[in-house]
Amino acid sequence: MISKVGHAVAALAAVAVLTSGCARVVAGTGAVERPDPDQVAGLTVTGGDSGPRPGVADAGLPVANTDGSAVDRLAENAVADVQSFWEKELPADFGKDFKPVKGLLSYESNGPALKVCNSSTAGLVNAFYCQNDDTVSWDRAQLLPQLNDSFGPMSVVAVLAHELGHAVQFRLGSVNQATPTIVKEQQADCYAGTFFRSVAEGKAPHFQLSTGPGLNSIMATLFFIRDTAGTSAQADGAHGNAFDRVTAFQLGFSDGAKRCAQIDVREVQGRITEQQFDPNDQDRGLGKGNLRVSDQSALGDLQTTLQAAFPGVKPQLVAGQPSCSDAKPTSPASYCPDTNKISLDLANLVRIGTPPQKGSKGGIGDFAAFAEIASRFALAVEHASGHAVDGPATGQLTACLTGMWAGTITPQHQGALQLSPGDLDEAVGEMLMGESLIAADVDGATVPSGFARVQAFRDGFTSTGPAICTSKYGA
């Protein structure tokens, strides 16, 4: 995020998770059925086991160069389940057969070099589909163990579901060598989402997935493998930032494979948020594009943008411990309806606003901290317009209005603060945390599903004003 006068403000983010629902008009009544905060795209939020099903025999697929390790068997079973899904789904949705890929290869990126898809595997910490020989390959030495250790076994399944999404593309003939990389990658993320919907519904032979923490781990995986902040969406090899990758995944999870096939150049160009750094974005000691959240001029600019987004609403921002008769304190920012004040814990805001650095935990980044303040401002907007400021639905409305504010500070608006590369990823990172203030009510009670939090935020970000948020999420 950068200020109008050239101060840096934004970038990077941290890991966590998501879920969604859609408003629909009820025939004959004109009423809106509001998204249930306890559901994920129509499925009940669950907290059961996620990972390999116990007692199920391995698929026994042939894998070239395998060492028979547990991670290779995990990958093999993942490929088997994904291919089994598409063998049924492709004929049903598109009237085309899905033939299994011709080969699977396991290799060690730090071991003997192999030649795969005209490239050497030496140092290749990756998993990939090769159209030339219709194969899927993976690094069993570093990539898959790292994913498994960080996010659990379903993260390995997610990566391979994405790679097999590329096999789906070429079997459908929906892409070719001239198709921009970002379009191919967004489609593959979407097809992965379609597969995981079937896993969440209990239809996968080898794996199970809860729609709470389990689905969150998948979203966290997408966050982890996002493009570096500042990557151009036009770059060869661009996959998308976390916000864009999660969007594509959610489209597949919610709307199915036919929706994925509709992702084309025109849609991606209109929807993608990945951007390069502005030349004015400077490293201020917190990482490029980040500003110290306690900076008084930055807080002043933040308040200016919030009042521009929500005219007529003017809660007072004050530093220090909150004192409130009608709401519980929330950290690092609290809204008190009785006094119409937003109390800021500046030390905690600085911690959250400091991006993670190698060798230190850090926080998330400045936009995550600013968005948490904005969420308390959104509560003031809700209070002023007569909406309830407590309860599960309030968190969705708050996330939506916070997203709407974020949509008013994109670079084309030339406001006091502007989004920088990585800012929206910081919001995703915050909303995938166990407790997200962006999607919480006045007492800090948060929407239980990360998927639903991100969906509501995105609804606001892509809207043209608060009316969409209040009509869809307002009580």
Quick: pLDDT tens for 391-434. 878 999 999 999 999 999 998 888 889 999 999 999 999 999 88
Q: Do the beta carbons of residue 355 and residue 12 sit within 8 Å?
A: yes
Q: What's the mean pLDDT when you consider all of the chain?
A: 89
**How confident is residue 183, by pLDDT bands cut at 50, 70 and 90?**
very high
CB 4 within 8 A of CB 409: no
Mean pLDDT of 105-134: 96
The predicted pLDDT at position 237 comes to 81
Confidence of residue 176 (pLDDT cuts 50, 70, 90): confident
Contact 474, 387 (CB under 8 A): yes
Between helix 213-224 and helix 423-431 the angle, nearest 10°, is: 160
Q: pTM for the complete prediction?
A: 0.89
The answer to whether the CB of 469 falls within 8 A of the CB of 463 is yes
Task: Out of 14-28, 152-166, 240-254, pick the least confident.
Answer: 14-28
Mean pLDDT of 146-171: 97
> Which amino acid makes up residue 302?
L
22-47 pLDDT per residue, tens: 233 333 333 445 788 889 999 999 99
pLDDT at residue number 474: 86
Confidence of residue 18 (pLDDT cuts 50, 70, 90): very low
Paired with 335 in beta bridges are 342
- Range in 7-16, 155-164, 250-259 the model is least confident about: 7-16
Integer angstrom CA distances of residue 156 from 25, 29, 138, 201, 239: 39, 46, 10, 19, 17
Three-state SS at 59: coil
Whether residue 6 is predicted with pLDDT greater than 60 in this model: the reply is no
Q: Is the pLDDT of residue 85 over 60?
A: yes
Residue 18 has φ and ψ, to the nearest 5°, of: -140, 175
Is the Cβ–Cβ distance between 241 and 12 less than 8 Å?
A: no
